[in-house]
Chains A and B, each alone.
Chain A
Amino acid sequence: MQRCLECAKKEPDRPCVECQYFVQLSPLRRVPSPPVRVLLEDEHGRQYPARILVLNTTEFGLETEAPVPGRYVIRLQENLWVEVAGVPFKGKNNVHVFDILCVHRKQGTARRLSREEYQLLAGSAGELIQEISRHLPEHLQDLVREKLLAEVEKSELINALRVGKVMKYEGGRFRYLSGQADLDLPMEEAEKLMRQAIRQAEHRREVIISADGQKVFDLHGVPFDHRSGGLLAFDITEVIEKERKMHQQEMQAYREAIAAVTGGRLYLVNSGEMEKVISEGTELARGEVRQTHDIPEARRAMREALPVLDSRRQHAIALCLTEALANALKHAGGGCWQARQSGDTVRIIVQDRGPGIKTSELARATLMQHYSTKNSLGCGFTLMLYYADHLYLNTGPSGTALALDFGVVPAGRLKPDKTNERG
């Protein structure tokens, strides 16, 4: 019998299944809880019950009476079995390391567990999927497991999934099977989803927000037959919150970088801040642009509404309005504009409902001269950055809003020595 000296010294009474000696410590080492029950089968067909205490993609830590060394087969699913060999000098009592020699799948063989197989055994989603499929009619089990795994993989939420609930739906009623019992699901929505899944005889997925708006659930409906199915529910509230925070941090970094590069003149703002920017001051004029012809019209209407300014300022404002409107027309098929005044500042605002500037494109679109995602000179932002004193930009999938500030001194208040600018 082998002893792990390190653990024996520290805590003589505890098994050392989690220590480095046993299964190499790596990001892929997992301790399934509870341990996964499997059967080891030797070449003569003798079977030994075993429990997977710890695993990575190339080794299992098994608790079993099976003799070590020795070669065994572990059947995980109909089409998935693993050949293992006990490592005699690694382990103690009934707990030993088993090397994964070969993984047999429907599609072929491999030397290690794939990500899906590994997660099937290690991750909470895997356990849940195992659990739910245990109650399925046999001919559906593999199919449903495969589909669910693919779906859960796709959702990219797998790593953050911790709690879940599995229920069976039959004859209009839900029966609790496993998982977190106190997960308070929106049952009305869940029933709708199950009815759809069963009627259409296919897997349905929906993300639903609880009635109080506090929780977000990822619901999967799996039809078993024409009148029953399984419901798999994950609470993804934390995941959503985490994603939102990451997005905020990313935007904050962009804001700071862009503000710094533009000498504090271009600000990326959120929609709340934009609301405020848009509502300040008093409105001088507004209009809409749907075709190129509307742009000179907008320029004319704005010139008429502006106070009398020196011609250079007037020209700068007209040019910036034109560039912003041309962008809205090109990228969003049109938009609306307004001119507002607050004290000695004229603010031009252009809004559209286009797809927005992608975050990854933002810096290039706003800061790089001659960068254009459409076929154009790509200098609209260059000009706006040059002429406007401050720019506020809010962009996202529901549209883009751009506000440009121009400090103006109405011509009536110009000092005599400056009036020569007006020719």
Chain B
Amino acid sequence: MDVYVDRGVCRVVLNGELDVETVAQLQEVVGKVEEHTLEVDLSGVSFVDSTGLKSLLDISNDWRQKGGQMLILRPQPDVAEVMRLVGLDRLLAQNTAPGGEER
């Protein structure tokens, strides 16, 4: 997991699998972020389960409450499909960047 900070934007680049086992790591990292905009780059994530999606939703809600925004970047097609199936694409609609342009 890599974290880049640049002019009020924090980009967290995830790799591997985001599931019931790894969500705690993501939450720990994100908990230290103080920037206005949080970008979660999913291009390196091959697998997300419902627990992973739940934590993305929770983080997004947190950010919105604090007046900031969260963007989800470049989910792979399989991951994007799961997000669509559970309606997360709609819940995150206003701050989800188009993704899946590359694999």
Contacts and interface: CB of A to CB of B under 8 A. Distances in A.
B17 A326 contact: no
B54 A382 contact: no
Interface in B56-103: 57, 78, 82, 85-87, 103
Interface stretch (A117-125, A140-148, A310-318): A310-318
Contacts of A322: 19-20, 47, 49
B47 A319 contact: yes
A382 B88 CA distance: 13
A106 interface: no
Contacts of A326: 20, 49-51
What is the interface of chain A mostly: helix, strand, loop, or mixed? helix
A383 B54 CA distance: 14
A299 B49 CA distance: 12
B53 interface: yes
Contacts of A378: 50
Given A369-B86, A383-B82, A386-B85, A376 B54 contact: yes
A149 interface: no
B50 A323 contact: yes
Interface string A365-407: 0000110000011111011001000000000000000000000
Given A293-B21, A311-B78, A312-B78, A382 B47 contact: no
A166 interface: no
Interface in A301-328: 311-312, 315, 318-319, 322-323, 326
B43 to A, nearest CB: 14
B21 A315 contact: no
Interface of B is mostly: mixed
B78 A295 contact: no
Given A318-B47, A319-B47, A295 B87 contact: no
B54 A377 contact: yes
A299 B46 CA distance: 13
Contacts of B51: 326, 376-377
A326 B46 CA distance: 18
B19 A295 contact: yes
A302 to B, nearest CB: 13
B21 A382 contact: no
A375 to B, nearest CB: 9
23 contacts: A292-B21, A295-B20, A296-B17, A296-B21, A315-B78, A322-B19, A323-B49, A326-B20, A326-B49, A326-B50, A370-B86, A370-B87, A376-B51, A376-B54, A377-B50, A377-B51, A377-B54, A377-B57, A378-B50, A379-B50, A379-B86, A382-B85, A382-B86
Interface of B: 17, 19-22, 46-47, 49-51, 53-54, 57, 78, 82, 85-87, 103
